[in-house]
Chains A and B, each alone.
Chain A
Amino acid sequence: MNDLFQIENFSCGYSGKFVLEDVSFQISKGDFVGIIGPNGSGKTTLFKGISGELPALSGSSKLNGKNLQKMGLKEKATNLAVVTQTIEIGSMTVEEYVLMGRIPYRNQFQFFETAEDIAIAEKYMELTGVTRLRHKFMNALSGGEQQLAGIARALTQEPQLLLLDEPTSHLDITHQVQILNLIRRLSRELGLTVLMIIHDLNLAGEYCDSLIMMQHGRMRKKGVPAEVLNYKDIEAVYDTVVITRINPVSGKPVVFLVSEEVIQKK
């Protein structure tokens, strides 16, 4: 069995408020999985449930057979790294920020970075291409550069599972593609397992090995992009008319939107 991450009948949230209900799926090592679904469908709640920000109500989420809910915060941080949409940090250099990824490996009495910490941080700064920015302040970076620094920091935690919350939102296509290419490469070369929330269905279909489609706090569908990105499911979940075709070069599904005016004319 090579499932790195398993989530079974998982529900989380605060009862009375929006809760995620009965989600089950498995991810194999090295898989790049996208989570799609409209706003309010439970994508972020699922992330918070996995990372432990929201309490689990029932079910389990296991990483390498170990229950994440019962794992200590430090141990969890060495197995699971999260990159959030925005990084609100002012006067901290990229290098300092990336080195923060080594905090879970440090004990309370250790004040200084070890040579190993620095070597690991340098390796991932190199890999993500932020080495040239290392002495810049985080708030002086563009959105795309910040995301890269965020990914470098997460990799420095040397996790087994990487959670990415919309890494490409607010970015132009150059940076969207740059970041997704990087993540694709990381999952291939390092065997890194990635779970990513993504709004753009076309990017999701192009890059991810498989997709999880969320609706009303539940999982509606899971499978390879060609199965999940069909017009029936998309129209049902997003309440929007779409047309799906196949990308002639990559063979991946592409979703087209059609304006109201055109639909009425047909």
Chain B
Amino acid sequence: MNSKYIKWLLFLAGLLLLLAISIVISLSSGEVKISIRQLPEIFANKTSIEYMVLTKIRIPRLLLAIGVGGALSLSGAILQGIYRNPLVEPYTLGISGGAALGVAIAIVFGLNTISFLSLPLFGFAGALVTLFIVYFLSVKRGGLSINSMLLIGVMVSFVASSAMMFLMSITTTDNLQSIVFWVMGSLDESNNLLIRIAFYSSLAGLLLTYFFAQPLNALRLGEVKAKHLGINTNITIKLLFFVASLLTGIAVAVAGVIGFVGLVIPHIVRLIIGNDYRILIAGSFLGGSIFLILCDTVARTIISPNELPIGVITGFAGGLVFIVVLSRSKSHFKLN
């Protein structure tokens, strides 16, 4: 077999092993300490406190970390691919700004008291509205102008954050606190339905993206050259943009704004295994999941019984790891 495929296989196996390790670490750490050896015993005895802690708190949270981390990182990898720009991440396109604005509106007008679904729904709606604005403003002559799409995204993001700051400045302290808390992001979600939606839809996004592995590879050569290779770049870019936006929208709606995953993880994966999307897609997803599981574990244990916003950990850990990796890698960094 081709040595390239063997390398990919080993890389995937390594990531799966890391995922398993981080799952065990995450499940065993917290207020109630649970060691690995206890796990079979706990699952046999469904009445113990440990069993309740695992199934009601830690496993749902774990699933959410896998889904949200994977979704954000995958979405970053896709967007960097279609924009051919290393600085693009889900949040550059204004999707998170829109989501945050949606949530701020819901909180300010007291809609969050109606149902537990209000905030996620408003967040998701905010993300989608931004996406449509960015999308339709940048459609030109039947084709998408990639650079204008990026610029419009950045601008929409600014407008949304100004609108949010305005809302924050005229509302009550209580509301202000809710908004700030939401914006900082957290995997503390008690609704099982939302967790399942986030988990399965991110897996669906992963599968869907795999259908576009070859087109994404061709796009590494640029739009025109990809077209010369028989790729319908217009449709490909549009569809991938939607997949990336939905992934981000769902992640943001459920977990708030968790920065850095979408930017840093795909880059680290690129540095390790290269830019071939056939491995990069799965690598980014798994890498994002592992990263978020570990960050969340730290966030909820480091100042226990209190919890740090997970964005604090992702920013610190992601940024530092990335700087170290980047300054140590001999080859200078290239996206394509």
Where the two chains meet, the residues of A that have a C-beta atom closer than 8 Å to any C-beta of B are 51-53, 72-78, 81-82, 84, 87-92, 96, 100-101, 103-104, 106, 108-113, 118, 139, 157
Contact = CB atoms under 8 A, between A and B. Distances in A.
B178 interface: no
A109 B218 CA distance: 15
Secondary structure type dominating chain B contacts: loop
B229 interface: yes
A89 B276 CA distance: 13
Contacts of B228: 51, 77, 81-82
A133 B195 CA distance: 50
B58 interface: no
A103 B225 CA distance: 12
A130 to B, nearest CB: 17
A101 B229 contact: yes
A103 B222 contact: no
Interface in B217-276: 217-218, 220-222, 224-225, 227-232, 274-276
Interface of B: 2, 5, 210-211, 213-214, 217-218, 220-222, 224-225, 227-232, 274-276, 278, 331, 334-336
Contacts, number: 69
B214 A73 contact: no
A105 B229 CA distance: 9
Q: Max chain A CB contacts within 10 Å: which of B218, B224, B228, B335?
A: B228
A113 B219 CA distance: 18
Nearest to B232: A73
A111 B213 contact: yes
Contact of B218 (A81, A103, A118): A103
A90 B213 CA distance: 18
Given A89-B336, A90-B336, A53 B214 contact: no
A100 B227 contact: no
A96 B225 contact: no
Q: Max chain A CB contacts within 10 Å: which of B210, B225, B331?
A: B225
A92 B230 contact: no
25 contacts: A72-B230, A73-B230, A74-B230, A77-B228, A77-B229, A81-B228, A82-B228, A84-B224, A88-B222, A89-B220, A89-B336, A90-B336, A91-B274, A91-B275, A91-B334, A92-B336, A103-B214, A103-B229, A104-B230, A106-B214, A108-B214, A111-B278, A112-B5, A113-B2, A139-B334
Contacts of B5: 112
A107 B334 CA distance: 28
Contacts of B218: 100, 103
Contacts of A92: 220, 275, 336
A93 B331 CA distance: 14
A106 B288 CA distance: 29
Given A90-B335, A103-B217, A76 B224 contact: no
A108 B211 contact: yes
B67 to A, nearest CB: 24
